[in-house]
Amino acid sequence: MNGHLFILSAPSGAGKTTVCDALLSGVSNLRRAITTTTRPPRPGEVNGVDYFFLSKDEFQRKNSEGQFLEYAVIYDNYYGSGRDYIESELEVGHDVILVVDVQGACSIKKTDVPAVYIYLLPPSLKVLRSRLVDRETDTSEVIEKRFSQAKKELRRYTEYDYCIINEDLSEAVADINAIIRAEKCRVKYYTDFIKKIIKDRS
């Protein structure tokens, strides 16, 4: 049976990276989708582990050939989710989780690749702002921009299959793990298995 693709989105500060890391440490068959970027590797980053690193010319060529499910330009660098890589992981039976923003998720929905869409919510806007401030990685101006963008993105929750509130990390991880288990048990994936059982008993 092929694996399943799970798309995880969340406003900045909602904790999607932390939740994803916790999921990966506890679910043996789940793989994080390695995305592609044109930015230079940072110290300690390894090609094919942290990202697939490409030149801008190579990225644009692949993009023109439809090799990315979605892509974005951030601070003059390209980021994209490789179709061939993700499909190859699914074909060998691995479940794949891809962390992308709302725009990226919308782009993937327009492709022919089936996926389950999960939106991670903060428990409140007050908590979200506190998390953005507590990270101590952005200026106050950047924080306000991220907070304003988050409020806009929250209105698009209806574009997803599931919503999870990230108030308690262990509970949020357990909820997403339950979604993964439930999706793998859908009737449509068991047609061949049922036919085999019926044939064996006849």
The amino acid that residue 195 corresponds to is K
Question: In which residue are the tokens 């047609």 written?
Answer: 191
CB-based burial label for 2 (10 Å; 0-12, 13-18, 19+): middle
Q: How many angstroms separate the Cα of 187 from the Cα of each of 6, 9, 118, 190?
A: 18, 26, 20, 5
- Within 8 A by CB and 6+ apart from 56, the residues are 38, 78
CB-based burial label for 114 (10 Å; 0-12, 13-18, 19+): exposed
Compute the average pLDDT of residues 130-154.
88
pLDDT over 70 percentage in the chain: 99
Q: Which domain holds residue 43?
A: 5-201
Residue 192's pLDDT band, with cuts at 50, 70 and 90, is confident
From CA 48, how far away is CA 56, in angstroms rounded?
17
User: Residue 139: what are its φ and ψ, rounded to 5°?
Assistant: -75, 165
- pLDDT above 90 for 79: yes
The CATH number covering residue 192 comes to 3.40.50.300
User: Residue 101: what are its φ and ψ, rounded to 5°?
Assistant: -80, 180
Tell me the three-class secondary structure of 111-150, residue by residue. CCCCCEEEEEECCCHHHHHHHHHHCCCCCHHHHHHHHHHH
What letter would DSSP give residue 188? G
For the chain, the average pLDDT equals 93
Q: What is the pLDDT of residue 88?
A: 96
Q: What is the pLDDT of residue 193?
A: 84
Instruction: Please give the helix or strand (H or E) that residue 186 lies within, else none.
Output: none
- The size of the chain, in residues, is 202
Residue 8's pLDDT band, with cuts at 50, 70 and 90, is very high
CB-based burial label for 92 (10 Å; 0-12, 13-18, 19+): exposed
Q: What is the pLDDT of residue 12?
A: 87
- pLDDT above 60 for 202: no
Q: Which of 92, 24, 103 is nearest to 81 (CA)?
A: 103
Tell me which of 16-20, 128-132, 137-141 is least confident.
137-141
From CA 79, how far away is CA 54, in angstroms rounded?
10
Model pLDDT for residues 161-189, shown as the tens digit of each residue:
999 999 999 999 999 999 999 999 998 88
- pLDDT above 70 for 33: yes
Domain count, the chain: 1
Q: How many angstroms separate the Cα of 43 from the Cα of each of 40, 78, 168?
A: 10, 19, 32
- pLDDT above 90 for 139: no
Residue 135's pLDDT band, with cuts at 50, 70 and 90, is confident
Model pLDDT for residues 84-95, shown as the tens digit of each residue:
999 999 999 999
